[in-house]
Every structure is written in structure tokens, then in C-alpha cells.
Amino acid sequence: GQSLEQPSEVTAVEGAIVQINCTYQTSGFYGLSWYQQHDGGAPTFLSYNALDGLEETGRFSSFLSRSDSYGYLLLQELQMKDSASYFCAVMSSSASKIIFGSGTRLSIRP
Amino acid sequence: DGGITQSPKYLFRKEGQNVTLSCEQNLNHDAMYWYRQDPGQGLRLIYYSQIVNDFQKGDIAEGYSVSREKKESFPLTVTSAQKNPTAFYLCASSGTTKETQYFGPGTRLLVL
């Protein structure tokens, strides 16, 4: 089967850096995606890593280690608007759908 | 503007009633998906369709039905068999890169 694990909650301070980890188990791996969802809103795509290493997009970066079945989302210069839930996701072994983690709720304190 | 629309934003269902949630996309995507999200929870896949006139059950298909008669449209019917339908329903689509899904704004279904 396939499963993803990520922390349920993370708290950080405005202006700081926070890392949200994701470990996965899957029989066929294509890549790791990250989505952001604000309360009451729809998820929005943030990043996708198919290869090992760090991908940077502005204040957000995403890292993948295929050998460790592990990835993380790094948020820098945290702003209050970054308070949201963050989901990691992998493609199913049949490559027909993606499987989402249960989400990490990020709370940011002033 | 390209995107996904869902309607209505809020929907009320009476006991024993079937209701249909609309999902339309103009992104020219082949694949479309329906998810259910309960408060504080993740996304659970109800049904998905990779091409017109074809669809597959997801993890929680019981009590739901779908159709895919047009590429742009993927309506979801919540039947009376779904005994606990109160949730946030999200429709999504993806193109050649299935890992990148685009979501509609969602429909909140409440039971009267």
C-alpha cells in the first residue's frame, strides 16, 4: 500500500524559518508534491520534486531524498498569511491518482 | 480566465434526498477528481475520471455517483445512501502532470 506521514501541527514565529517533514511508503514512486490550504479555502499547488535535491520558489523550498523516502517543505521569512494547512502527496502506483497526507497545520505567532 | 468552478457554494440536503454538485473546468484537462474533506481532516478521494465516458471509484465511493459525459464537466451526486454527507466537497483536475492538481473553490454540503 501507500502511506504518507507528516506532523499534525507545527507552530512558528513570524519572520522565522519552519520545516514541515513528510515520509512516504509507496510501491512505485514518481515524485512528491506539496499543497497549501487556508481555512475554508481550496488547496493550491506549491511544488513538485521528482529528483533528489532542493527546489526553491521564492520564500518556499521543497526537498526530496528518494533513498530515504523523505521530503520536506521549508518556509522562510514566515508571514502571518502563511498560517494554513500543508499537505504532501505522492502519485499512486497505478499513476492514475495522487494520495494526500493528512496535513500539517502551521500556526504562526507574532 | 482558465480555472475550475463549483456550484453551489453551499448546499442543503433533506433526509432521503439526492443532490448534485456541479464541477466545470476550462483548462482542457483530461483528468478530474472529487474529494471529500471533513473538518480538520485531509482529502479523501471519492471518484476520479481520466477521460470522457470513463471513471473509477476512489477510497470512499459508497453513497456517491458521478458521470463524465463531457470533458469539461464532472458532476457528483450525493445519494440518500450516503448517511453522513455533511462535508466540504472539492473538485480538481490535472493535465499531463497528474501530480499538479488544480482545485475548485469547493461546495459545503449540510444536512437539514
Q: Is A96 on the interface with B (CB under 8 A)?
A: yes
Chain A residues lying within 8 Å of B48, measured CB to CB: 96-97
Rounded-to-integer distance, Cα B84 and Cα B7, Å: 20
Rounded-to-integer distance, Cα B19 and Cα B77, Å: 6
Q: Is A51 on the interface with B (CB under 8 A)?
A: no
Rounded-to-integer distance, Cα B32 and Cα B71, Å: 9
- Min Cα distance A101 → chain B (Å) is 7
Q: Mean of the per-residue pLDDT values for chain B?
A: 94
Please compute the mean of the pLDDT values over residues A11-28 and round it to a whole number.
Answer: 94
Q: Is A81 on the interface with B (CB under 8 A)?
A: no
Mutate to test the interface with B, among A85, A97, A104 (most CBs of B within 10 A): A97
Peptide bond into B75 cis (omega under 30): no
Considering only CB atoms, B99 lies closest to which of A31, A42, A44, namely: A31
Nearest to A65 by CA among A15, A27, A21: A21
Please compute the mean of the pLDDT values over residues B10-38 and round it to a whole number.
Answer: 94
**Digit-coded pLDDT (tens) for A41-55:** 999 999 999 999 999
In the structure, what pLDDT confidence band is assigned to residue A91 with cuts at 50, 70 and 90?
A: confident
Distances (CA, A) of B20 to A23, A41, A101, B11, B91: 37, 21, 27, 9, 13
DSSP summary character for residue B70: B
**Digit-coded pLDDT (tens) for A48-82:** 999 999 999 899 999 999 999 999 999 999 999 99
Considering only CB atoms, A102 lies closest to which of B42, B90, B102, namely: B42
Chain A residues lying within 8 Å of B99, measured CB to CB: 30-31, 33, 48, 89, 91, 98
In the structure, what pLDDT confidence band is assigned to residue B1 with cuts at 50, 70 and 90?
A: low
- Min Cα distance A77 → chain B (Å) is 25
